[in-house]
């Protein structure tokens, strides 16, 4: 099935999901990889007009809840993130070749209820799958601790190209001259942007409490014992899970049928305009403007 055209309205929230090759555990948490990914995120947020509201990096996939200025900003942000995380994984886990199974998938989140639902979904990562008891227990990068006010996220970016060229030229430089520290700030959901920081933490804590209660009930009902952080960290990053849960990605996250239909209508108009522009380009017209 062909990928849908990327249709991102300016300033609209999107949920981005990306998965590793064959669902291998190449993103398995470690102190070094956690630091490398934080550095990439910090640098990307500094370079591109994108706001980060939440994220979770599990061992074989990652979710990001973003508000880009437009589709171009999202594309540049994700190109930087995908490329540089791939380089870090290659260095740390001796992995050659592509890291990602396919291009990232960005799904628009078009209404307030869906914004809250997608944040809750991301907060539940690691806990919902029975890997850890609580979202905060996940040993990798996860927005739960920061949103609850229990962690400050910062990354130290190393300009490897600058360091390489300086040393190649024979300059006596320390690594610190090519390091920059970036804060990885989490913005509130657009629908909750007007509330105080304390109230925002309270609402996030409420979502986490719901997640933990649901996980306890699910674990008890099916007799599941969470794997725990120690066993997660003991897994080999080249390993593959026995099975991977996959479900068709929706075109849009919308809480109501009306919101969904409005988005679909706008998407159909966009596709028609894109195809018309492509036909003109194939016909030899030079001044084609794509939507």
Q: 3-class SS at 155?
A: strand
| Calpha distance 77→52 (Å, rounded) | 11
From CA 203, how far away is CA 195, in angstroms rounded? 10
At residue 2, the pLDDT reads 66
| H/E element, 121 | helix 112-123
CATH fold of the domain at 13-255: Alpha-Beta Plaits (3.30.70)
Model-level pTM? 0.93
Bridge partners, residue 183, by sequence: 154
The pLDDT of residue 224 is: 93
User: Domains of the chain: which residue ranges?
Assistant: 13-255, 256-291
Q: Mean pLDDT in runs of 10 for the chain (291 residues)?
A: 80 95 96 97 97 98 97 96 96 92 94 97 95 96 96 93 88 88 96 95 97 96 94 95 80 94 94 93 88 85
Three-class secondary structure of residue 33 per DSSP: helix
pLDDT at 9: 87
Query: How far apart are the C-alpha atoms of 147 and 150, rounded to whole Å?
Result: 8
């Amino acid at each position: 099935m062909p990928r849908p055209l990327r249709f991102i309205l300016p300033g609209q929230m999107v949920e981005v999901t990306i998965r590793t090759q064959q669902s291998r555990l190449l993103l398995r948490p470690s102190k070094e990889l956690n630091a490398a990914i934080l550095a990439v995120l910090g640098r990307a947020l500094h370079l591109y007009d994108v706001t980060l509201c939440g994220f979770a990096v599990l061992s074989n996939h990652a979710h990001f809840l973003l508000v880009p200025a437009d589709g171009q900003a999202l594309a540049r942000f994700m190109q930087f993130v995908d490329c540089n995380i791939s380089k870090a994984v290659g260095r740390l886990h001796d992995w050659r070749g592509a890291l990602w199974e396919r291009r990232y998938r960005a799904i628009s989140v078009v209404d307030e209820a869906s914004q809250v639902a997608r944040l809750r979904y991301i907060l539940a990562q690691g806990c919902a799958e029975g890997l850890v008891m609580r979202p905060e227990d996940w040993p990798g990068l996860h927005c739960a601790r920061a949103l609850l006010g229990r962690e400050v996220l910062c990354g130290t970016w190393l300009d490897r190209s600058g360091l390489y060229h300086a040393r190649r030229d024979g300059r006596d430089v320390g690594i610190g001259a090519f390091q920059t520290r970036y804060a990885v700030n989490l913005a509130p959901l657009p629908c909750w942007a007007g509330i105080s920081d304390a109230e925002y933490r309270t609402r996030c804590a409420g979502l986490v409490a719901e997640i933990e209660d649901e996980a306890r009930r699910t674990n008890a009902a099916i007799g599941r014992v969470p794997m725990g952080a120690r066993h997660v960290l003991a897994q080999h990053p080249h390993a593959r899970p026995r099975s991977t849960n996959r479900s068709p990605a929706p075109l849009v996250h919308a809480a109501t049928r009306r919101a969904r239909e409005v988005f679909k209508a706008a998407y159909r108009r966009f596709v028609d305009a894109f195809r018309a522009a492509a036909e003109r380009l194939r016909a030899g017209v030079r001044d084609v403007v794509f939507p």
